[in-house]
Amino acid sequence: MRLLERMRKEWFMIGIVLAIAGAKLKPSVGVNGGPLKPEITVSYIAVATIFFNSGLSLKTEFADSRLHASPCVFCSDFNQGSWWK
């Protein structure tokens, strides 16, 4: 039971070790043009995932204030732009 608890606690480190071991055993999976297509997955999918996870970790008070500020800025910019016509 103690081993299972330890594995649950250290799941991220175990995942990193397994990923490194897999890359060492079969490096052809991650080369350019390989099955993982790193030129696409790293450029787009990984970056999008990082930003998505960052957005999920925002506090709701901060997110609410940012959502409120965006329409206000848009409206004020729109209104000021129409003054010159």
Residues 77, 78, 84: CA angle, nearest 5 degrees: 95
Q: Assess contact for 47 and 41: CB atoms under 8 A.
A: no
The better pLDDT of the pair 56, 19 is held by: 19
Higher-scoring residue by pLDDT: 7, 41: 7
How far is Cα of residue 78 from the mean position of the Cα atoms in its chain?
32
pTM of the predicted protein model: 0.49
Coil, strand or helix at 33: coil
Any idea how long the chain is? 85
pLDDT at 24: 95
pLDDT: which is higher, 41 or 74: 41
Indicate the residue type of 8.
R
The secondary element (H helix, E strand) that includes residue 53 is helix 47-56
**pLDDT for the residue 33:** 85
